[in-house]
Amino acid sequence: MVLVRSRRRAGFTLIELLVVIAIIAILIGLLLPAVQKVREAAARMSCSNNLKQLAIATHSYHDANNKFPSNGPTATYNMSGANWSWLARILPYVEQGTIYNQLGIDNVPF
């Protein structure tokens, strides 16, 4: 009696490979919206923090000068000078004093 052995190769069939790829694609598809929501939440928190820092700087300016920073010329403003916005005037209060000094805003009446 002759025994015929069938040799079977160790490995994956094409169908098994395609199923694994499909499962991985589905998992990635489910993961991407969650990652996007986390990024949106981080961006929202960062923006909220920046607005809070601007509000704190504006109030610090008010504490130091007894008024809020003006935005452009006032009635007694010399029109020959530069028109600095309130954002430029609060630079020292958002830890940007060197830029403030380089611009020479101290010399401009407000």
For 58-73, what is each residue's pLDDT tens digit?
999 999 989 888 876 6
> Residue 49 has what pLDDT?
95
pLDDT one-digit tens code per residue, 86-95: 888 899 999 8
Q: Residue 93, class by beta-carbon neighbours within 10 Å (0-12 exposed, 13-18 middle, 19+ buried)? A: buried
110: Cα separation from own chain's centroid: 32
With beta carbons less than 8 A apart as the criterion, state whether 88 and 105 touch.
yes
Return phi, psi of residue 68, to 5°.
-80, 155
* Higher-scoring residue by pLDDT: 44, 106: 44
Tokens of 17: 């490979």
pTM exceeds 0.85, yes or no? no
Whether 81 has a pLDDT exceeding 80, the answer reads no
